[in-house]
Amino acid sequence: MATTATVTARPTVSVIVPARNEEGNLGECLQSLVTQSGVEAEIVVVDDHSTDRTRAIAQSFPEVQVLEAGPLPQGWTGKNNAVATGAHAARGEWLLFTDADTIHLSGSLARALSEARENDVEFLSYSPEQIAVTFWEMATLPVVFAELARQYPPAKVSDPKSPIAAANGQYILISRQAYAAVGGHAAIASEILEDVALARAVKHSGHKIRFRYAADAVRTRMYRSWPQLREGWTKNLALLFPYPGRLAAKTLLWWALPWVSVALAPTVRPVWAGTVAVLGFTRSTAGLRRSNFDLPMELLGALFGMPMFAYLLLRSKRAHANGSVPWKGRTYSGAEARELSDSKQPRLLLRTEH
């Protein structure tokens, strides 16, 4: 891995890592990045006003350039401000935006660059392998990612003829030319769901994008506790799904079907009730196959994760409707004080800082 301290030639890739209070994740992330090989790269960490050891951990890696995010401008989200700061300082022909909670497999950066070039795309996003440890993670994540795969099928996202665009902000590799052409993160400064917004901007500008599940390249553990998981998905879910209320209702109905059948078994023919229960539970479990988790976690999702997902959907819908979406010590509020209906999906959100 080339270092910014010794290399004067323009690097091929600039890896930009925004970090706000990431002392629990950043060290492992940077270790996986500085050991990449096969491509000239620089690594830029942007400290987004952290109050823990984030900056000290970043500075402990001589290969890493550490920047401080400037004051948060009115109308910007914290992450957009941080990554824009990194992009402004970056010198690479390609930019890799990746989160501090990611772990990059050996040689993955060079392979990603080759994949983008071989597929003639200027925007490549990976959905990382999800590491789940706690019960909350193991039950909820299969349902969330199964629904995301249904809403944003990677094949359609990667199809230039399809209007569907999506990305995972934990791994976005984009050419500098395409990034500049759409105005970079300044053009989506107020978007909480900045990854999908950037993908839409790039695809709608006529550039080709590619999106896929990439356990062969990167892994992550997004949330390490129920409060973190609740806050994170509250921030995102109402933006990811256009009808969160309807989806919550549908999810609860499918989850309840087997349980209601079992409860009614004493009053109806047990064979019929048992058949409905088995078919309903099988259908729910089969629907989670697209989530890329193993069978035990799919079973947990079908048993316990579906009502949790419905709760998070409704919580997210309410938070965005009320214009109060907390995330990492900041609160983001709606551009307009209006009540959201199921037919209206929130898009541009402005910032208030606590």
How does DSSP assign 258-321, residue by residue? HHHHHHHGGGS-HHHHHHHHHHHHHHHHHTTGGG---HHHHHHIIIIIHHHHHHHHHHHHHHHH
Residue 31, in any domain of the structure: yes
How does DSSP assign 89-103, residue by residue? H---SEEEEE-TTEE
How many Å apart are CA 77 and CA 349, to the nearest integer? Answer: 8
Q: Tokens 């590799």 sit at which residue?
A: 173
Give the count of beta carbons closer than 10 Å to the beta carbon of residue 222. 20
304 shares a domain with 191: no
More confident residue, 234 or 262: 234
By the 8 A CB rule, do 351 and 76 touch? yes
Domain that holds residue 290: 227-353
Phi, psi of 15 (to 5 degrees): -95, 120
Residue 88, in any domain of the structure: yes
240 shares a domain with 190: no
Residue 32, in any domain of the structure: yes
Q: How many domains does the chain have?
A: 2
219 shares a domain with 119: yes
What is the per-residue burial (b if ≥16 Cβ within 10 Å, else e) of 103-124?
bbbeebbbbbbebbeeeebbbb
Q: How far apart, in Å, are the Cα atoms of 135 and each of 158, 215, 303?
A: 33, 21, 12
292 shares a domain with 194: no
Instruction: Name which of 244, 249, 267 is nearest 318 in CA terms.
Output: 244
The predicted structure's pLDDT at residue 265:
64
pLDDT at 96 over 80: yes
N- to C-terminal Cα separation, the chain:
39
112 shares a domain with 20: yes
pTM over 0.75: yes
The predicted structure's pLDDT at residue 337:
30
What are the pLDDT digits (tens) for 269-299? 677 666 766 777 787 888 898 999 999 999 9
Residue 141, in any domain of the structure: no
What are the pLDDT digits (tens) for 173-182? 999 999 999 9
pLDDT > 90: percent of the chain? 78
